Amino acid sequence: MRPFLDFLLNDWLNAESLTQRPRFAEHSRETFDAVLDTCERIAREKYAPFNRLVDTEEPRTEANADGSLRVVLPQATYRAREAYAESGMLAAAQDYEHGGMQLPYLVEATANAFFGKASISIGANLLTVGNANLLMAHGTDLQKQVFAANEFNGRWAGTMCLSEPQAGSSLSDIATRAVLESADDPLGPRYRLKGNKMWISSGEHEMTENIVHLVLAKIPGADGKLVPGVKGISLFIVPKKLVDTQGQLTGVRNDVALAGLNHKVGWRGTTNTLLNFGEGQFPVGGQAGAVGYLVGQPGEGLKCMFHMMNEARIGIGMAATMLGMAGYEASLDYAKTRTQGRPVGPAGKDPAAPPVPLIEHADIRRMLLAQKSYCEGSLALLLYCARLVDEQHTADAAAADEARLLLEVLTPIAKSWPSENCLEANSLAIQIHGGYGYTRDFPVEQYWRDNRLNMIHEGTHGIQAMDLLGRKVLMEGGRGLKLLAGRINATIEQALQRPELAAHANALAQVLERVGGVTKAAWATGEPAQALANAVPYMQAFGHMVLAWTWLDLSLKAVAIENAALAAGVAGATTYFFHYELPKAEPWLRVVEQRDMTCAELPVDAF
Amino acid sequence: MRPFLDFLLNDWLNAESLTQRPRFAEHSRETFDAVLDTCERIAREKYAPFNRLVDTEEPRTEANADGSLRVVLPQATYRAREAYAESGMLAAAQDYEHGGMQLPYLVEATANAFFGKASISIGANLLTVGNANLLMAHGTDLQKQVFAANEFNGRWAGTMCLSEPQAGSSLSDIATRAVLESADDPLGPRYRLKGNKMWISSGEHEMTENIVHLVLAKIPGADGKLVPGVKGISLFIVPKKLVDTQGQLTGVRNDVALAGLNHKVGWRGTTNTLLNFGEGQFPVGGQAGAVGYLVGQPGEGLKCMFHMMNEARIGIGMAATMLGMAGYEASLDYAKTRTQGRPVGPAGKDPAAPPVPLIEHADIRRMLLAQKSYCEGSLALLLYCARLVDEQHTADAAAADEARLLLEVLTPIAKSWPSENCLEANSLAIQIHGGYGYTRDFPVEQYWRDNRLNMIHEGTHGIQAMDLLGRKVLMEGGRGLKLLAGRINATIEQALQRPELAAHANALAQVLERVGGVTKAAWATGEPAQALANAVPYMQAFGHMVLAWTWLDLSLKAVAIENAALAAGVAGATTYFFHYELPKAEPWLRVVEQRDMTCAELPVDAF
């Protein structure tokens, strides 16, 4: 993977050019490489060897003397976290003055890819970083100093507490209540929270001195009732253990209790919890109710929480991609070394000839090239998006605004496309292994199980699709879609100059035109129920268009590089994608175009 | 599922008409129904409640006093086997005079579907039946009497020992040797076997008094060398415990030893073993070497073994289908009862309105209807194939020959299409459950894990595709393909008379023509390497055509039935299949037509 990553960073995305910006001026290609080298090494030493272990020895609970539950984790999980925290990666993007490295997000995301490939579930550090970043954006100075800083330095960990058992994706229905206790606590307006939070990753553990929960809850109105909908939602810092303004533990446990663990199909290294807030298991000052400090303004909780949504979703896409890549590498290795059967020649098979490596069989190569096109293509798209995050934050105003808008449109694809297609890649990796791939003696089945999560968390596939077709391609008068079309057309124009790419360029131009037309057709009646009835097929087609564009653009760059094998690989994966994948877009588009209501209108009793 | 099954059996396939044939003359719709009722009940009582248990408490080994290994299984597995054997289903298809029920295969396959849906892995009875059937076809009278009869009556179990660790799908490379010991043993020419067999389902257990292994091995030539290729393969009966001509145990253990278990991702209720034959752990008469009795002629082992191939592959297709169906039912139930979110109306969402059942969301319905079209369509196709098996065995010569040839062409689809698409159905069932679907608290993740096996065993996806495009559509001058086209055209002709189905009929006619043309184009150069380079996409397109035909034919029949909800369901699933699925055939066909060598020709170092 490293040569391809280097190609993406240095040849395609020109990461080094970022060092011309003031924020990154002290960096160079060498410092970027050093970060990647370090992370690649830690991932190899502290993550990869324990990936199966954390699957087998999944988190379990033991009772404390007081009857409360604690989580038991393998030692390897502690070691992996320690190594990650010591690397400084938790604060990779922070200012030097806050102990950070002022790394571009592009380099941070690339470096984190190594950990994802080595063991996606042993660490859940991205949540801690996301939590702290959110406080940096919306917290008071003291909240940043007390909470965010201690997350960045590795002392404490962070969580995101959104979902509730009765309201999975439907945040407007959350029922956790927050009642004001004191408006003038130096850590922020102090509330008492009561409610249950579900699917909380790393919601309880003893790897760090403290855990900083960021919790969505509703402040009841004067009538004591909760406001329906997302407008009533506010955001609170709820530390597991209470702290003072110096960031020291006060010795008082907050009223947050582990109710139980979720036992998952995969991704088992990460503890997933049901948490009870304020049920009185650890009363504070003799009173039930978890102490929480308001972040930002009341009623703006969701807005705050979604501030970091793009990065979080890019992170999920990257997780899916790295699981796919791990399976691709494992199955490529297996296909090169395992001998079995003989290819069919003009005279059939010669049973007296020695068996050949699996990779000599055409269908094995098809399954490998499919994986390559899915996983490397996803990786490229995600780093392109990561580069846009840097543009958004450090480019001039016009370029930053373009980057912001492009990210809005691309993020649902960056999350959903790898989740779906790199899962399929994992299935192909199993298939290449045959019966062995179906056993737990080989790693590929675990990648496949781990990867199944990614279409579900951080907004399901269906939600991404509604976001894309219901919001992103319409917003600002469709300017985001136009912007993307402009970039795609620029690639097409260049590719048309290259005889070997001209056919691909024309194919992409056709699909681009179709996507534009179909978007209009979907909304032709203005009825959301009709427009969005086939939002997922729309997203699938849109994703294939974006990935075809990505591959075409990579091909333009690859012809100029020295590494002939890498160039041939990019050319092959591009051809594969245009011949085998892009034509799938049309069947998906057709049902959207026709606002096909077959599914939506089938009576319930006919199922 | 039962109403749909009854519709298939009684309205669509007219199972009752089989009772006009002498073999089934004592049967009636009532006796068929009684068999289904009994099996449905046993499956509900003895299988379904323990499906999770056999996943959690997977088979493990314990050492016997002599150091050999035995397999420990949950009690529920014993009970399920007992109940199945007591039902008489092991001998369902056998003659009355052999204690059988003389049931049509169609009814036997339908009855077995209930067990597959309740717990696919708790029983492995189909292997015992297949083993005994094979002996009925190729064994001597005494072999039938001693071995087959005791499998049909439930006293012993059977296995199929084909694969070896170094030669998974490549049977021509098996290295198990069989050396003649005595040509005149009453049980058949007696050999001593040495070798290792891998992936043997139920290769060791104590559920039955004895286990009858059917083993492929090679008899060395005069030079002591094994003949390369499949021609040197012979078939042997190798009982775990030696028996006399009366079918009584002699007290001598045969030299077959459990070397270990395979630890699988799913399908855990079925023990999967590595067996050592003839390594001397249980020497017979002081000598290493497992005692085996030749079945049929030397060198015809594979021919014998593949005699039952169609039924075996229909069985795998049915397993995949029933896992899909189990997931469909679970997610349909969840979607009807779980409330979450609100549909988008013209004015957006009203957060003050109560949440609606999941099934009110368009994308949930899409995922349900996709599952329905995959699983019910597969079930219909499989029962159609089962009906062909009965035609082959009991119809007049011309019809029997047609049925044989149609089965040859349809079997790769009957095995591969459900394996691929009902696995996707299981993934959609998880998606409908959201985060809950990713936990082991709900059954859908297990169905998904269990189902992943079906693209691998009994001939991988790739092997099915080579069989279809490399052999089945060519055999007998393409007569099988023409025959199928004739049946499809007959359905099209009828559907053209129905205004509501005419558009589907035309769409299917187009794809049928394309498949014919593309088959020719694939073979235009006569080079197998080019023709077969895209055999899997060909099979995928061919399968979609066959399923579209199946749904269209079901639709023709459904308009006449009384159950309005069922008729609406068939109509909806048909429309779904024609709008959302059939158009996928064209992108698959295009690479076949163009003999696209992108994958086959990419250099190894470019991956």
| DSSP-derived secondary structure for B236-279 | EEEESEEE-TTS-EEEEEPSEEEEEE--BSS-TTS-EEEEEESS
Give the closest-approach CA distance of A407 to chain B in angstroms. Answer: 24
Contact B265 A449 (CB under 8 A): yes
Among candidate residues B58, B458, B581, B593, the one labeled active-site is B458
How many angstroms separate the CA atoms of A406 and A476, rounded? 12
Give the closest-approach CA distance of A535 to chain B in angstroms. Answer: 8
Give the closest-approach CA distance of A304 to chain B in angstroms. Answer: 20
Task: Please report which helix (H) or strand (E) contains residue A149, including its range.
Answer: helix A149-152
Find chain A residues with C-beta within 8 A of B271's C-beta: none
Give the domain A306-459 fold.
Butyryl-CoA Dehydrogenase, subunit A; domain 3 (1.20.140)
Which one, of A199, A82, A91, lies nearest residue A150 by Cα?
A: A91
Q: Which residues does residue A164 pair with via DSSP β-bridges, in sequence order? A: A167
How many angstroms separate the CA atoms of B94 and B136, rounded? 10
How many angstroms separate the CA atoms of A604 and B571, rounded? 14
Contact B343 A529 (CB under 8 A): yes
Q: Could you tell me the pTM of the whole model?
A: 0.97
DSSP code of residue A439: B
List, in order, residues 6 or more apart from A23 with CB less than 8 Å away: A102, A393, A394
Mean pLDDT rounded to a whole number for chain A: 96
How many angstroms separate the CA atoms of A39 and B156, rounded? 58
Domain made up of B1-123: CATH architecture: Orthogonal Bundle (1.10)
Contact B607 A368 (CB under 8 A): yes
User: Taking a C-beta distance cutoff of 8 angstroms, is the pair B495, B505 a contact?
Assistant: yes
Find chain A residues with C-beta within 8 A of B580's C-beta: 537, 587, 591, 596, 598
pLDDT tens sequence across A430-480: 999 999 999 999 999 999 999 999 999 999 999 999 999 999 999 999 999
Contact A462 B363 (CB under 8 A): yes
Mutate to test the interface with B, among A366, A375, A430, A440 (most CBs of B within 10 A): A366
Number of H helices, E strands in chain B: 21, 12
pLDDT at B274: 97
Find chain B residues with C-beta within 8 A of A544's C-beta: none
pLDDT at B124: 76
Contact B438 A445 (CB under 8 A): no
Find chain B residues with C-beta within 8 A of A500's C-beta: none
Task: Name the residues of A annotated as catalytic.
Answer: 458
Q: Check if the interface score ipTM surpasses 0.90.
A: yes
Contact B439 A228 (CB under 8 A): no
Residue in A closest to B536 by C-alpha: A363
Find chain A residues with C-beta within 8 A of B416's C-beta: none
How many angstroms separate the CA atoms of A126 and A146, rounded? 19
Q: What is the mean pLDDT of residues A371-388?
A: 98
User: Taking a C-beta distance cutoff of 8 angstroms, is the pair A153, A209 a contact?
Assistant: no
User: Taking a C-beta distance cutoff of 8 angstroms, is the pair A568, A504 a contact?
Assistant: no
Contact A351 B229 (CB under 8 A): yes
The angle subtended at Cα B567 by Cα B563 and Cα B569, nearest 5°, is: 120
Tokens representing B557 are 């029949």
Q: Which CATH class is domain B156-298?
A: mainly beta
User: Taking a C-beta distance cutoff of 8 angstroms, is the pair A160, A127 a contact?
Assistant: yes
Q: Is the pLDDT of residue A349 over 90?
A: no
Contact A583 B587 (CB under 8 A): yes
Residue with tokens 């509703």: A218
Give the closest-approach CA distance of B523 to chain A in angstroms. Answer: 12
Find chain B residues with C-beta within 8 A of A456's C-beta: 430-431, 434-435, 437-438
Q: Which of B231, B352, B460 sits opposite A431 (nearest CB)?
A: B460
Contact A535 B579 (CB under 8 A): no
Find chain B residues with C-beta within 8 A of A273's C-beta: none
Q: Is the pLDDT of residue A12 over 90?
A: yes
Q: Which of B465, B536, B596 sits opposite A579 (nearest CB)?
A: B596
pLDDT at B47: 97
pLDDT at A133: 95
pLDDT at B346: 74
Give the closest-approach CA distance of B429 to chain A in angstroms. Answer: 12
A–B CB contacts, 8 A cutoff, strictly below: 284
Enumerate residue ranges in chain B where pLDDT < 70. none
User: Taking a C-beta distance cutoff of 8 angstroms, is the pair B263, A439 a contact?
Assistant: yes
Give the closest-approach CA distance of B114 to chain A in angstroms. Answer: 19
DSSP code of residue B134: H
pLDDT tens sequence across A471-515: 999 999 999 999 999 999 999 999 999 999 999 999 999 999 999
From its phi and psi, is residue B111 left (phi > 0), alpha (psi between -120 and 50) or beta?
A: alpha
Contact B604 A359 (CB under 8 A): yes
Confidence of residue A344 (pLDDT cuts 50, 70, 90): confident
Contact B529 A343 (CB under 8 A): yes
Find chain A residues with C-beta within 8 A of B607's C-beta: 332, 359, 368-369, 372, 569
Higher pLDDT, residue B333 or A170: B333
How many angstroms separate the CA atoms of A117 and A121, rounded? 10
- To the nearest whole percent, how much of chain A has pLDDT over 90? 91
Q: What is the CATH number of domain A155-299?
A: 2.40.110.20
Q: Which CATH class is domain B300-345+352-459?
A: mainly alpha
Residue B458 annotated to the active site: yes
Higher pLDDT, residue A20 or A351: A20
